[in-house]
Amino acid sequence: MRIKFSPLYLFLLVLVLMVSGGLLLVGGKGSENKVVVVVPQDPDYLDPHQASAAGTYEMMFNVYEGLLKPTPEGGLSPAIADSYSISQDGLTYTFILRKGVKFHHGREVTADDVKFSLERLMGTHTGKPLSPFFEKVKTIETPDSRRVIIKLKEVDASLLSNLTVAIVPQDNLNLNTHPIGTGPFRFVEYRPGQRLIIEKFKDYWEPKLPLVDKVEFRIIPDREAALIALKTGAVDIYPRIDNERIEELGDGFCHLQGMQNLVQVMAMNLKRKPFNDLRVRQAINYAVNVDEIIQMAAFGFGTKLGSGFSPAMSMFYEPGLEELYPNNVEKAKKLLAEAGYKDGFRTTISVPSNYSFHVDTAQIIVEQLKKVGIEARIELVEWAVWLQRIYKGRDYEMTITGLAGKLDPLPVLIRYTSDYPNNFFNYSNPEFDILNRQAAAESDQKKRAVLYKKAQRILAEEAAAVFIMDPHYTVAFKENIAGYKMYPLYIQDMSTVYVTE
Does the predicted model carry a pTM greater than 0.95?
Answer: no
Dump pLDDT digits (tens) for 440-462.
888 888 999 999 999 999 999 99
Residue 154: per-residue pLDDT: 92
Higher pLDDT, 484 or 8: 484
206: three-class secondary structure by DSSP: coil
Residue 405: per-residue pLDDT: 83
Dump pLDDT digits (tens) for 121-138.
999 989 899 998 999 999
CA distances from 57 to 50, 53, 446 (A): 11, 7, 30
Residue 442: per-residue pLDDT: 87
Q: List the domains of the chain with CATH numbers.
A: 7-62+183-259+473-499 (3.40.190.10), 68-162 (3.90.76.10), 262-471 (3.10.105.10)
Mean pLDDT of 265-288: 98
Residue 31: per-residue pLDDT: 61
Burial of 131 (0-12, 13-18, 19+ CB in 10 A): middle
Phi, psi (deg, nearest 5) at residue 140 = -125, 120
Nearest to 180 by CA among 292, 297, 293, 60: 60
Higher pLDDT, 83 or 54: 83
Dump pLDDT digits (tens) for 359-417.
999 999 999 999 999 999 999 999 999 999 999 999 999 999 999 888 889 989 999 99
Residue 325: per-residue pLDDT: 98
How large a percentage of the chain has pLDDT more than 90? 80
State the pLDDT confidence band at 16, using cuts at 50, 70 and 90: very low
Residue 348: per-residue pLDDT: 98
Dump pLDDT digits (tens) for 214-231.
999 999 999 899 999 999
- Residues 182 and 166: their CA atoms lie apart, in Å, by 9
Residue 27: per-residue pLDDT: 41
Q: Which residues pair with 258 in a beta bridge?
A: 473
42: three-class secondary structure by DSSP: coil
Higher pLDDT, 263 or 22: 263
Q: Give the CB-side neighbour count of residue 451, counting CA atoms within 13 A.
A: 22
State the pLDDT confidence band at 22, using cuts at 50, 70 and 90: very low
Residue 244: per-residue pLDDT: 83
Q: For the CA atoms of 144, 145, 147, 153, what is the dihedral angle to 10 degrees? A: 80
